[in-house]
Amino acid sequence: MNALSTPDPTPRFVTELLPASAATIARAAAALCAGHLVAFPTETVYGLGGDATSDSAVAAIFAAKQRPRFNPLILHLPDLEHAEKFGVFDERALRLAETFWPGPLTLVVRRPPATAGGAVVSLLASAGLDTVAIRVPSHPVARALLKAAGRPIAAPSANRSGTISPTTPLHVRDSLGGRIPLILAAGKCPVGLESTIIDVSGEPGTPPRLLRPGGIAREQIEALIGPLLLPDLDPDRPTAPGQLSSHYAPTLPVRLDALNAAADEALLAFGPDMFVRGGGERLNLSAGGDLEEAAANLFAMLRLLDQPHFRAIAVMPIPEQGLGLAINDRLRRAAAPRL
Ligand code: TXA
Ligand code: MG
């Protein structure tokens, strides 16, 4: 560590990696209720969960990830009925929730007025905003864990801040091993990209805003509630405070829209690639050009290609439709100038 790097205050843990079962889910739920952190699978990416009503558990999430405190967390709940205790759902929010939950959609809604005796979400979790982001995941292990914990679980992706999100238990261990006590393991995340985030906290009449493209395609959402406002991409004024432009970054530089690759570049292909020349190593997101398959492979393949003997990762063009919107969003961030 040099004199300028920030000291790392996180206590060291022996990280246990346990295959998910009824018994280990019960143990993980008890750990969450005791204020400890648990990494767990969702259909999108692995999350790093902590009791959202506990300031110290939420602070531990920020510390383990080395995440800036101004970047708020998503609350995970088992169903809409529970979600309505922690956020105000207007008619549009209800339609979205009823259509896409459980599943990879996060809704930003207003915080309800504090009620006497009700569980209160830590202000630290929502970085002091008067809105909260809420999601009801569909992964069976996440659902069982949330039911057993019986409280809102704040969970960002289970990786160090600014790095590629984890889609397998080993990705979590590589990024947070020694910094968290427990990883509940259940193989590869089926969607592979984070949830789509929609801000429905505005006054009635203002269109909802897409804050982050993700596992549910924009087209599907617009088919239900009409046109969305698009993310405000001014990097100096983040609307979702997490929308910092350099994010999801592998160690190597990323070159987009590549139609060939140099011998010292790794190639991340998409679709039939037999006419593409070069590349020191080649992985194909989906040889058949299937965007869902590509989304599920994206983060794992970026990690596999991120090796020091290459100069860069060259990525073939990916269509800007369906899940391609979210795939290209993550790739543009991976290619953005590093802070
Ligand atoms: O799929 C997912 O959403 C995964 C899994 C674990 O559920 N979680 C995830 O969390 O991607 P994270 O922390 O990596 O991203 C959460 C995003 C951030 O960009 C944050 O700024 C935004 O949600 N967010 C949270 N609360 C917000 C709020 N009140 N207003 C606007 N944006 C908010
Ligand atoms: Mg993240």
What's the predicted TM-score (pTM) here? 0.94
Quote the pLDDT of residue 7.
53
* Ligand (nearest to CA of 232): 1
56 CA distance to ligand 1 middle (Å) = 19
pLDDT at 2 over 80: no
126 CA distance to ligand 1 middle (Å) = 10
pLDDT in tens, 278-315: 889 999 999 999 999 999 999 999 999 999 999 999 99
Helical residues (DSSP H) of the chain, grouped into ranges: 22-33, 55-65, 80-83, 91-100, 140-149, 169-176, 218-225, 291-305, 324-335
Q: Which CATH superfamily is domain 254-335 in?
A: Threonylcarbamoyl-AMP synthase, C-terminal domain (3.40.50.11030)
Cα–Cα distances (Å) from 32 to 28, 181, 196, in that order, read: 6, 11, 25
* CB proximity list for 94: less than 8 A, separation 6 or greater: 80
Q: Please give all residues whose beta carbon lies within 6 A of any atom in ligand 1, as ranges.
A: 42, 44-45, 47, 71-74, 104, 106, 108, 126, 129, 131-133, 135, 155-157, 194-195, 197, 211-212, 240-243
Longest CA–CA span in the chain (Å) reads 66
Contact indicator for 307, 266 with CB cutoff of 8 Å:
yes
Lowest mean pLDDT among 80-94, 113-127, 129-143, 288-302: 113-127
Domain boundaries, the chain: 16-194, 254-335
Query: DSSP letter string over 146-174?
Result: HHHH-S-EE--BSS-TTSPPPSSHHHHHH
Is the pLDDT higher at 231 or at 180? Answer: 180
Q: Phi and psi (nearest 5°) for 211?
A: -90, -30
266 CA distance to ligand 2 middle (Å) = 24
Q: Which CATH architecture has domain 16-194?
A: Alpha-Beta Complex (3.90)
Return the closest-CA partner of residue 61 out of 178, 173, 159, 177: 159
Terminal CA-to-CA distance of the chain, rounded, Å? Answer: 19
